[in-house]
Chain A
Amino acid sequence: NAGVMQNPRHLVRRRGQEARLRCSPMKGHSHVYWYRQLPEEGLKFMVYLQKENIIDESGMPKERFSAEFPKEGPSILRIQQVVRGDSAAYFCASSPPQGTSYEQYFGPGTRLTVT
């Protein structure tokens, strides 16, 4: 049973470019969460999605960041016009449907470097 998959594992972008991060949840999981971890800091919640729905985006910056989880395909976290401060590790986690269990399992992360 494959775990949470993320790609790319490493991404380098110049300031002003767009970054697209992908996440495929574990089989049977319908909930996806995105977190950001800055160097030497804790994990910060960004957004919680179900298929075709954004459930909670209270942790997303108001500008340049967007997320989706389409009916088919992976969840995408999109960062437009990246700046140096966006350099971080971005982790995706997935969990089973609510009411079964609440544990979240993390993917390997995408390390974004903005030059």
Chain B
Amino acid sequence: QKEVEQNSGPLSVPEGAIASLNCTYSDRGSQSFFWYRQYSGKSPELIMFIYSNGDKEDGRFTAQLNKASQYVSLLIRDSQPSDSATYLCAVEDSWGKLQFGAGTQVVVTP
């Protein structure tokens, strides 16, 4: 079983709609959760982090965390073509290092 699981996509989203990305993890001791955006050929860029259960909003992005269900999600509101990228879910494990999911490719269509 992979430690961090994401749907690989591609997730096709009409421009202006909400993109919903999901991530599950296996390590119950994890305390810190991150979403990175990676454009093709570029390095990962941190866009959100969340440490507590519930929702955290930053601009058009909302991260949601449910530790009991071992589930973290990312919502992108008012999706733009510039949001087309691969989104990586990362979970800090009990030893302090990040475990990454394989990423979900998002394609925003005009």
Contacts and interface: CB of A to CB of B under 8 A. Distances in A.
Interface of A: 33, 35, 41-45, 48, 55-56, 58-59, 91, 93, 98, 102-109
Contacts of A33: 97-98
Interface residues of B, number: 22
Interface stretch (B20-28, B43-51, B71-79): B43-51
Across the A-B interface, give the 5 residue pairs with the lowest CB-CB distance, nearest first: A42-B102, A43-B100, A106-B43, A102-B32, A109-B43
B97 A106 contact: no
Contacts of A104: 34, 46, 90, 98
Contact of B43 (A44, A45, A108): A108
Contacts of B36: 106
Nearest to B102: A42
Contacts of B98: 33, 45, 93, 104
B43 A91 contact: yes
A42 B97 contact: no
Interface in B76-104: 88, 90, 92, 95-103
22 contacts: A33-B97, A41-B102, A42-B100, A42-B102, A43-B44, A45-B98, A48-B96, A55-B96, A58-B95, A91-B43, A91-B44, A102-B51, A102-B92, A102-B96, A103-B34, A104-B34, A104-B46, A104-B90, A105-B46, A106-B36, A106-B44, A106-B46
A43 to B, nearest CB: 4
A42 B49 contact: no
B103 A42 contact: yes
